[in-house]
Amino acid sequence: MQEWQNEETNPSLLRKSLITGMGACSAGGIDLRTLWKNTLQGTVTASLEIFPPLQDALPVYRAPRLHDTSKSQSLLRQADRSVHLALQAGDEAWRHAGLEMAKIKPERLGVIIGSARGPVTFQEQSFSSSLNIGRRSRASTSLYTAFSSISGIIAKKFQAEGPCFVVSSSCTSGATALHTASGMIQSGLLDVVIVGGVDAPLTPTLLEQYYQTGILSSCKKPRDALAPFDLNRSGTVLGEGAAFVILESDASARARNAPILGRLDAISLASHGRHRAGVDHEGLSLQKTLRHCLKEASLLPGDVDLLHLHGTGTRLNDLLESQAVALFFGNFKEQPYACATKAITGHTLGAAPLFQLVLTLCSMRDGMIPPLTNTKDLDPACTLRFVLTKTQRHSLSTALCLTAGFWGNVASMIVSTSPLAP
């Protein structure tokens, strides 16, 4: 275990960013309640599909078909699949927080979304159509192919007039969105922020691109294809989905007596740039972001009860992630419990950090650590403290989520459920 020095730190700027609502929509469940149930039970809903121009069937995680009957139906008629997923999860988070539009100043409400690929389905369709002779784009195409269409429709739905935009930093996009939202709350600019991560990457062109990288699972049994940290893992499986939280200032939450789901104690973002497609081979970037995150939260490694890992199921990234975490937290007995849940949701790209966060909050709320689904034979090189067979009950007050992405992006988030000072 690396030597840890107690250093004098400045008070955390994020210490009083509170989470008061959450929601999710993915292949693992159309809502967060269903997703959490399937996570605990290890229920996998991946399927095998053929995507031209690939002459090969690929396992994918496709979210349920959505039927919108709300007043937003006209807005969604031309919108990308990602927008539909985002609105489903965002609406659940809003309702969970018990918010009322009439009681929030519109200029104090913001929308910040993280997405790696944006409205890629609609982009792919519209750009393909425009190349065909005799076909012209609709006047509205420029609106709905923009990344900002996701945040814009969410803002219109909830009448938000504060900052409204989409950020993109590959698979850490959701964490980047959360970090940005926290800063706006702590600066006093906003009282409430609808924060989400969303991606809908199941398009022929995008899947073909990922297929060519060699990182997709070669397993033809879709429900077994994504096996994080398994000795025989063969790659990751893409999934579509959206996960959202309501981030709120402590003053706003207390004023309306909102139930507090968790406190965001710290977020650390970094990049290393030496490896375009993954973690640096020494694991230094992951260890760096872990150290910075704990320092920001004024915590020691032993204070963390649960780690929610990236766990993509690729041979190299799972190995490098586990080695970096083991070096940082020490030998097996010194480590906090660890979990990884992409076998339930699939790899949802920029939405992944938010899925990790909401499922971590469910773990902390219920005191339950989910098993490592699909991992039948744990890789002995991945010496982390996983729960392998069935859900384990454990008191959890502080948890850390770790994620990584293309172009060397890494992120870690610390959330706690300890009592808040009056």
Classify burial at 275, counting beta carbons within 10 Å of its beta carbon; exposed 0-12, middle 13-18, buried 19 or more. Answer: middle
- Residues 94 and 159: beta-carbon distance below 8 Å: no
Q: How confident is the model over 253-278, as a mean pLDDT? A: 85
- Give me 93's structure tokens: 């988070």
β-pairing verdict for 109-114 and 192-199: parallel
Residues 6+ apart with CB under 8 A from 113: 86, 150, 151, 154, 165, 166, 167, 177, 195, 196, 197, 198
Query: What is this structure's pTM?
Result: 0.93
So what's the pLDDT on residue 390? 87
Q: How confident is the model over 360-368, as a mean pLDDT? A: 97
251: Cα within 13 Å, side-chain hemisphere:
9
- Residues 372 and 422: beta-carbon distance below 8 Å: no
- Residues 369 and 265: beta-carbon distance below 8 Å: no
Look-up of token digits 């297929």: 211
List of E strands, 250-302: 262-271
User: pLDDT-derived band of residue 376, with 50, 70 and 90 as boundaries?
Assistant: very high
Q: Name the most confidently modeled range: 5-19, 58-72, 361-375.
A: 361-375
Helix axes 204-213, 120-130, angle to 10 degrees: 110
User: pLDDT-derived band of residue 15, with 50, 70 and 90 as boundaries?
Assistant: very low
294: Cα within 13 Å, side-chain hemisphere:
22
Residues 6+ apart with CB under 8 A from 74: none
So what's the pLDDT on residue 408? 81
- Give me 318's structure tokens: 């799972």
- Which phi and psi (to 5°) does residue 237 adopt? -135, 125
In the predicted structure, residue 133 carries a pLDDT above the cut 60: no
In the predicted structure, residue 6 carries a pLDDT above the cut 70: no
User: pLDDT-derived band of residue 274, with 50, 70 and 90 as boundaries?
Assistant: low
Cα separation, 200 vs 240, whole angstroms: 4
In the predicted structure, residue 179 carries a pLDDT above the cut 90: yes
User: pLDDT-derived band of residue 13, with 50, 70 and 90 as boundaries?
Assistant: very low
Cα separation, 368 vs 385, whole angstroms: 15
Residues 6+ apart with CB under 8 A from 196: 86, 89, 90, 93, 112, 113, 114, 154, 174, 177, 242, 243, 244, 245, 351, 354
So what's the pLDDT on residue 123? 85
Cα separation, 239 vs 355, whole angstroms: 12
Mean pLDDT of the chain: 89
In the predicted structure, residue 359 carries a pLDDT above the cut 60: yes
The string of pLDDT tens digits covering residues 24-61 is: 999 999 999 999 999 999 999 999 999 877 878 999 99
In the predicted structure, residue 272 carries a pLDDT above the cut 90: no
Q: How confident is the model over 328-347, as a mean pLDDT? A: 94
337: Cα within 13 Å, side-chain hemisphere:
23
Lowest mean pLDDT among 74-78, 120-124, 305-309, 417-421: 417-421
